Amino acid sequence: MVKATATGKRAAWLAAFLACLLPLSACSSGDVVDVRSLQVREPAAGLPEADMDRPVELGFIWWGPTERHMATLAALEVYTARHPNVTFKPEYMEWEAYWKKLPTLAASKTVPDVLQMDAAYIRDYVSRGIMADLSDLDLAGIVPDPILEGVKIDGKLYGIPLSHNAQGIAYNRAELEAAGVPLPKPGWTWDEYFQWAREAKAKLPPDRYPIGDSASAWDWFQWYQASYGGGAIMSPDGKAFHLDRELFFRYHTILADLRRDNVVPPADVTLTFLENDPLADQLASGKVMTRGATVGSVAILEQYMPGQVDVVNVPIGPEGGGWAQPTIFLGVYAGSSETAHAKRFIKWFISDREAGRTLGLTRGIPIYGEIYQELEPNLEPKDRLGKVLADIAAEYAMPFHAAGAGFTEWVDAYKLTMEAVMFGQKSLEDAYGELNALGESIAEQNRKR
Amino acid sequence: MRIRMSSVLNQAFMIAFSFVMIYPVIWWVGASLKKTEELRLPTIWPEVPMWENYTEGWSFSANYTFGHFFANTLLMEAGNVIGGVLTAAVVAFGFARLSFPLRGFWFSLMMMTLMLPGQVTIVPQYILYNTFGFVDSYVPLVLPHFFGGGAFFIFLLVQFIRGIPKDLDEAAKIDGASVYGIFGRIIFPLIKPALVTVAIFTFIWSWDDFFSQMLYLSSVDKFTVGLALRMFIDQFEVQWGQLLAMSLLSIVPSVLIFFFAQRHFVEGIATTGLKG
């Protein structure tokens, strides 16, 4: 009996050892992710015509709402009618599911031939070798050159832009008019923005606020810094970092004064806001008169508050304000064996008239101007609002800067640190010291790599 | 009189407390009948109930109704529950009653899988099923349940079987029953309450297992209710009314199962063994 227990113990240890090995072997499968070694076929031009006529099944994966799914499926049918040898294997889901599923597909080398991409993630997928280089695709006359140059990564084109996007500010026109507040003026500067907030607060009911507290939103400060010539906080490769001391103190001192004078909501109220939630969105809930909005996201505000919302640019400095750039792309999987077909399909997808009519505005304002002009007469109010925002923003836009590689941690730290400042738990001096040190150390690590 | 007074107070307290607990569900029912614009108002009930949220939500997709997704999910669930209950019982019987070489080792190895984080097996598993061509079918979702239904359930049943007196096995053996006879005629009928627990948990856990369903099912034709619900949502746009209406319907099967099986369920947890 004693012996049996001893055997049992030994066996248990052995089992523990084996179980420890399992996760290790799973971890070392990291090399599975790297598909850079995969051969990428020659582009369409290099293939004989006959090869373009053989039967092909293209995988195509995208995210979106039902409306987009239906329109895209219809467009795929149109394509198959034109090219009977090309059929599709579509996969579609919503945003959250898409970004949960794609890493697994990438790691197991089973990404469909054509995939939709977002500006927030494309650099990551390029660095993992998932996206094929599409620089040789001729898009002259379809996508304006400055836009193409703007979306290139290290000089190469990995994602074909589908629509225009831009950052602006949405405001509650109905309530501002009712309170007798002059509406925000297009082209307003940061000084005018803060001044407008003070004047508006005097006319609004006590529990209503003209502007939100943007102290803990790092992108707001980045717009401020860039608009005064301080440049982006970090470079796209994450190797350079610059948090401008003077501008940091100026911006956050203004906000602290506004908080003290009750022009922006108290810190505890600010933290209860949840963007795009029908109950807790700062604008949709009626508590705050303005908030940041993009071309892609402004339609939902129009749905919550039909006919009450209008848009204006992000406040500007000497260098401009906000950004305007496509953020949604189609790319080709680097391991795809049907690169030529995938490229031909993508070009058709953004430039063909019938495709344009079928797809409508389900992916935003089409990148090809001629298609937008054809669609314009039949737009819904929510789509029109997006176009107004795109036009206003484009006038003052600065380049778009996403968080640099490896800076996710810094972005989280900025939010937490500045929240502590909002609650009076931390001095501005300490906050600057901590954020600057953290940013410098991340950039240092990136430089060593 | 005093007793009646206190029981009235008790009842009143419990009713008040139950109301607090059920309030979110009441809000849910109200919100499922609202227009999107009305959702931001602090009211419980809409001015005009929008029953269209249910009818339009039910047939929101041009090609499929929610009936199709419910049928898909129940089909998958049937496989999961049958696989889980049968194989967990067989495996647990083996560990609890049979002696074979390295029994302790295999049992510990199985228990170790409880500590293995699910995340590390996702990619290898996906590659495996993809190689066999099982992706976009129910096989990757159902098949694992046919391998003992999971370490937790086996452990639960082993503990339960250990509570059954061995005398019963021996009596059956004397009467000429084989190992299979003992399992089929003695043990299996006696562990029914525990099997109900296994069935309920298997049902509810796989109903809620959104990630695997999302990973392995890609054509809408095979979507489960959970996946279909997510089709109402996008990065910025959410059709709240229809989403809330359909998600209210989606919990109905779990609630029904719980109501009907509750008696056995409690028995399965409370019964620790049999008295000789």
Residue showing tokens 């094929």: A132
Separation in Å, CA of B138 to nearest CA in chain A: 16
pLDDT for the residue numbered B145: 93
pLDDT for the residue numbered A245: 95
CATH 3.40.190.10 domain locations along chain A = 44-163+325-367, 167-322+401-448
Question: pLDDT tens across B69-106, in order?
Answer: 999 999 999 999 999 999 999 999 999 999 999 999 99
Q: Which residues pair with A323 in a beta bridge?
A: A398
**Rounded to 5 degrees, what are φ and ψ at A231?**
70, -175
Burial of A62 (0-12, 13-18, 19+ CB in 10 A): buried
Report the Cα A18 to chain-centroid distance in Å.
Answer: 43
A65 touches chain B (CB under 8 A): yes
The answer to the question of residue B18 being in a domain is: no
pLDDT at A18 over 80: no
Asked if A19 lies within 8 A of B135 by C-beta distance, the reply is no
**Rounded to 5 degrees, what are φ and ψ at A400?**
-85, 130
Q: What is the C-alpha separation between B91 and B74, in angstroms, rounded?
A: 25
The answer to the question of residue B11 being in a domain is: no
Burial of A182 (0-12, 13-18, 19+ CB in 10 A): exposed
A11 touches chain B (CB under 8 A): yes
Q: What is the C-alpha separation between A331 and A322, in angstroms, rounded?
A: 26
Q: Hey, what are A378's tokens?
A: 């039949």
Which of B237, B238, B243 is best to mutate for the A interface (most A CBs within 10 A)?
B237
Asked if A93 lies within 8 A of B214 by C-beta distance, the reply is yes
The answer to the question of residue B150 being in a domain is: yes
Mean pLDDT confidence for A189-204: 95
Q: Which residues pair with A160 in a beta bridge?
A: A330
Residue A309 identity: V
Residue A282 identity: Q
The count of CB pairs under 8 A between chains A and B is: 126
Q: What is the C-alpha separation between A129 and A331, in angstroms, rounded?
A: 12
Percent of chain A with pLDDT over 70: 89
Question: pLDDT tens across A69-121, in order?
Answer: 889 999 999 999 999 999 999 998 888 889 989 999 998 889 999 999 998 88
Q: Which residues of chain B have pLDDT under 50?
A: 272-276
Q: β-strands A56-63, A114-118: how paired?
A: parallel
Separation in Å, CA of A435 to nearest CA in chain B: 30
pLDDT at A22 over 60: no
Q: Which residues of B touch A15 (CB under 8 A)?
A: 105, 108-109, 111-112
The answer to the question of residue B264 being in a domain is: yes
**CA nearest B40 in A: which residue?**
A279
Count the helix, strand and coil residues of chain B and give each as a percent rounded to the nearest 5. 75, 0, 25
Neighbour-count burial for B242-251, b at 16+ CB within 10 Å, e otherwise: bbbbbbbbbe
Which domain CATH number covers B235? 1.10.3720.10
Q: Which residues of B touch A64 (CB under 8 A)?
A: 234
3-class DSSP state of A427: coil
When comparing pLDDT for A217 and A277, which is higher? A217
Question: pLDDT tens across A217-238, in order?
Answer: 999 999 999 999 999 999 888 8
**CA nearest B227 in A: which residue?**
A93
Starting from the edge strand earliest in sequence, which strands make up the sheet with A167-172, in order?
Answer: A290-294, A167-172, A309-313
Asked if A104 lies within 8 A of B215 by C-beta distance, the reply is yes
What DSSP element (H or E) covers B190?
helix B188-190
What DSSP element (H or E) covers A174?
helix A173-178
Q: What is the C-alpha separation between B21 and A25, in angstroms, rounded?
A: 46
The answer to the question of residue B16 being in a domain is: no
CATH architecture of A44-163+325-367: 3-Layer(aba) Sandwich (3.40)
Residue showing tokens 């959702």: B39
The answer to the question of residue B227 being in a domain is: yes
Burial of A166 (0-12, 13-18, 19+ CB in 10 A): buried
What's the mean per-residue pLDDT of chain A?
86
Which of A25, A69, A94, A281 is best to mutate for the B interface (most B CBs within 10 A)?
A94
Terminal-residue alpha carbon distance, chain A: 58
Q: DSSP class of residue B65?
A: -
Mean pLDDT confidence for A40-59: 66
**CA nearest A59 in B: which residue?**
B218
Distances, alpha carbon B72 to alpha carbons A87, A235, A370, B220, B229, in Å = 26, 48, 44, 11, 14
Band (pLDDT 50/70/90 cuts) for residue A408 is confident
Separation in Å, CA of B9 to nearest CA in chain A: 36
CATH architecture of A167-322+401-448: 3-Layer(aba) Sandwich (3.40)
Give the helix ranges, DSSP H, for B144-184: 151-162, 166-174, 179-181
Where are the strands (E) in A25-80, listed by range?
Answer: 56-63
Which range of residues forms the domain containing residue B144?
A: 69-270
- A401 with A324: CB under 8 angstroms? no
pLDDT at A242 over 70: yes
Sign of the torsion formed by the C-alpha atoms of A11, A16, A17 and A21:
positive
pLDDT at A14 over 50: no
Asked if A305 lies within 8 A of B233 by C-beta distance, the reply is no
Treating both helix axes as pointing N-terminal to C-terminal, what angle do A245-260 and A408-422 enclose, rounded to 10 degrees? 40
The answer to the question of residue B117 being in a domain is: yes
Total tally of structural domains belonging to chain B: 1
Which of A93, A99, A295 is best to mutate for the B interface (most B CBs within 10 A)?
A93
Most distant CA pair in chain B: distance in Å? 75
Q: Hey, what are A197's tokens?
A: 């907030």
Q: Hey, what are B165's tokens?
A: 């007196």
Asked if A26 lies within 8 A of B123 by C-beta distance, the reply is yes
- Other C-beta atoms lying within 10 Å of the C-beta of residue A392: 21
Residue showing tokens 């949960």: A100
- B238 with A66: CB under 8 angstroms? no
